[in-house]
Structure 1
Amino acid sequence: MDLLGGVGRDELRIFSWAAAAVFALVAGVWRPRGLHWTALGSALLFAALNAGAGIYVLGHFGDSRWSARGEPPLSAPSFSGTPVVGQFLGPLDSTLDGVVGGVNDFLAFKQALPVALDFLAASGWALLVSFPLAVLAAGISAGTRYAVARRRTADFEKYRATVDLLKVELEQVKRQISSGNSVDTELPALVEVTDVRPRLMHRG
C-alpha cells in the first residue's frame, strides 16, 4: 500500500521542513539545555526525509506527479484494424506497444530525475550542515561535563577540608577534657564551617 500515493512533490518538500521544525520545537521544549543536540537531530532528520523522498520518486518515476507539464504518455497506433491486411499486422501492434512503452518509461524517468535530484541535493546540504553541528555539539557537551566535574571536585575538596577542620577541633576538645578544663565556649570554627554534603548529594 502506497501511503504517499496522493502526495505531490511540493507536499513532500513541505513535509520535510515541517517535520524537522516540529522535532526541533518538541525536543527544545523537552530538553532546553540540549539545544545543540536538538539542532543536530533536526538536520539529520531533514536529511533523512529528503533522501527518502528522492528514493521514493525514483522508485515511482512513472507517476504523473513528477511531470511539470502534465503531458499524457505516448500511445502506439493500432494496425490490427486495417482492412484486408489487419490480421497480418497484429504482431506489429504488440511490438509497437513495447517500443512506445519503453519511450514512455524513458520520458517519465527523465521528468522524475530532476525532482529526485532536488530532494537528494537538499539531503546532501543538510548532511554537510550536520557535520559542524556535530562537532559543536560534542564540544559543548565535553565542556559541560568538564565544568560539572570541576565543580564536584571543588565541592569534594571543600568537604574534605571541612572534615579535617572538624577533626582538629575534636582533638582540641579531647585534650581540654582530658586536662580537666571545662569547655564552655562555643567553637568558632564549628559555627563558621559549612557542611557541603547536602549539596554534593543534590548535585550527584
Structure 2
Amino acid sequence: MNSDKTPNLIIPRLIIGLGNPEPKYDRTRHNIGFEAVDSLARDWGLSWQENKRFQGFIAEGDGPLPGKIRLLKPQTYMNRSGQSVRAVLDWYKLAPESILVIYDDMDLPLGRLRIRLSGSAGGHNGIKSMIAHVGTENFARLRIGIGKSTEKATISHVLGRFTPQENQVILKVLDLSRKAIELGLKQGLQKAMSLYNNQSVEIGSNLC
C-alpha cells in the first residue's frame, strides 16, 4: 500500500502581532508585531474592534482571498500575551496550528525575516507566555529582525525607536512580510518559508 508522505499545508487562520499597548511603546522595536498586523489590516481593508473577552483588538474579514482571516493585537502587555491568544483559540475553537505570530527578534539582523513552523521561545517573553497558555510550541511564527546594539543595553534597544534610515528598511520588510503571508495563505507557509526566509532588505535597497 502506498503511503502519502506529503506534509499537510499549514495555512494560518489567526495572525497575531505581539507588542505592548501603551502609547509610549508605539513604533518601538519591540512593537514591530503590532506594526505588522496594523499594516496587514490597512492593506486588506480590515477594521480593528476592541474585545474585552479577548483582552485585545481583533480584526476579521476575507483578507487577500476568500475565507475568513483574523488578526489579533493582545493588550495584556508582552509577557501575558498568551492569555489573549488562549481566549481567542477557545472562543473560535481554533487549533494552535492555525496560528501565525509576528514578533521582533534581536538575533536576526535588521532587514531579515524568518518563518518557522514551531520552536522554542528563544528568550522572547511574549512567545514564552504563548507556549505556556497554548500548551505547545507547535505554532508558526514570523520573526522580524531588529538586530542587536553594541552601544545600548538590551532593554534600551528593544524599547527604543528605529532611526529614520532603519524605518525605510522596516517599511520594505513589512511589505515583504505581507507578500510572504499572502503566499502562505494561498499555498501554505512551507512555500512562503522556501521563498522568503533568505531574502533581506538593506539600507538603500530598492527591494519592494
TM-score scaled by structure 1?
0.18
Name the structure where strand makes up a greater proportion of residues.
Answer: 2
Q: Higher helix fraction: Structure 1 or Structure 2?
A: 1
Question: What is the TM-score when the length of structure 2 is the normalising length?
Answer: 0.18
Report the structure number with the largest CA radius of gyration: 1
